[in-house]
Amino acid sequence: MGSHADANDPQWIEKVKSEGAVPCLDPDNCPNGWASPPGDKFMVRGPEYFANRVKIPAGEYLLKPLAFDWIKSSSKVWEVMKNPNSRVRKAIETEFPDGDRPFVWAFNLQVPSKDNYSAVAYFVAKEPIQEGSLVDQFLKGDDVHKNSRLKMIANIVKGPWIVKKAVGEQAICIIGRALTCKYVVSDNFIEVDVDIGSSMVASAIVHLAFGYITTLTVDLAFLIESQTELELPERILGAVRFSELDPASARPVELFDGTDVNLQSSLSTRWWRSIGQGFSNLIHQGSQDSSPSGSVHSNGIGSDNKNDILGKW
């Protein structure tokens, strides 16, 4: 099976798309691969949402799909883009040796399992970020602001009834409210490390889904929630589809010795604290898509080691 590339993609993007552990394929046929699903598969807040609560098909994404990594390691993978051996970082540094590099968004979903799988979706900006825009405000905002704004939409395109029932037809959540996020921001990238294991509810759902992963097709979209009329309509940053992933195809990643014991302890503590939180904290609250209120979880976990990952993936 060959790589599915946009005819307008620069050569370096085609190369990055094709070098992951699983191939980039056509959205309608991507077994054990990934793709960019059509934007109209997702419903977002329309231009008059606060008056009529009407959602509209999302349409074109703000960002361009760049890469997808399916990896595993002996412990959680953090700060992928800060590691000099990251394949995406290396490709950008090689293509743009003198600076003026494109801005990359990386979403690292840490799957709670003994093999510490991570699914990392990368997107690249099509044009410079406008000063004062919603994206600009998000990047410059503190972690509390980011936690209150970053939204994820999940669609189970194909899979068994039990998984669809657990997730819902189109699950929507403000990620930083439901899960612990670590934000790594640099001049030319932002990475969001999402610790799914930080929520008992999310972990239970993912454990259930992981048992059927070789039969699942999942669409995930990331966007910044519009909370005022001036910010409408919502626009999706980027979206990824992964289909029928084989755990055996995940690329092993070697970590440095010396795991952060405090990190493991804090994860265990949060695991038990999350018991008793209903499904509404993860799914139904977002599904109602009400205007956000109340407190949010601040981020602040993860290894302080700047080069956690060795090797190229």
Q: Which of 271, 250, 296 is nearest to 68 (CA)?
A: 250
| 303 within a domain of the structure (yes/no) | no
Residue 297 resides in a domain: no
In a domain, 82, yes or no: yes
pLDDT at 299: 32
User: The tokens of 60 are what?
Assistant: 């074109």
pLDDT of residue 37 exceeding 60, the answer is yes
Residue 84: predicted pLDDT: 81
Question: In this predicted model, what pLDDT tens digit does every residue of 39-95 receive, in sequence order?
Answer: 999 999 999 999 999 999 999 999 999 999 999 988 899 999 998 888 999 999 999
In a domain, 219, yes or no: yes
Give pLDDT, residue 310. 32
In a domain, 231, yes or no: yes
How far apart, in whole angstroms, are the C-alpha atoms of residue 214 and residue 22? 13
For residue 308, tell me if it sits in a domain: no
> How many folded domains does the chain comprise?
1
For the cut 90, the answer to whether the pLDDT of residue 103 exceeds it is yes
DSSP-derived secondary structure letter, 118: E
Q: Which residue has the tokens 């509404």?
A: 280
Q: How many whole angstroms separate alpha carbon 237 and alpha carbon 116?
A: 26
Mean pLDDT within 90-102: 93
pLDDT classification of 22: cutoffs 50, 70, 90: very high
Question: Per residue in 156-179, is it b (16+ CB within 10 Å) or e — as a string?
Answer: beebeeebbebbbebbbbbbbbbb
The residue segments making up the domain with residue 68 are 11-292
Q: What is the pLDDT of residues 192-231, one digit of tens each?
A: 999 999 999 999 999 999 999 999 999 999 999 999 999 9
Dihedral-angle region of residue 59 (phi above 0 means left; psi in -120 to 50 means alpha; beta otherwise)? left
Select from 60, 71, 62 the least CA-distant residue to 34. 71
Whether 2 has a pLDDT exceeding 50, the answer reads no
| pLDDT tens for each residue of 156-183 | 999 999 999 998 878 999 999 999 999 9
DSSP codes of every residue in 207-239: HHHHTTGGG-EEEEEEEEPP-SGGGPSP-EEEE
pLDDT value of position 293: 35
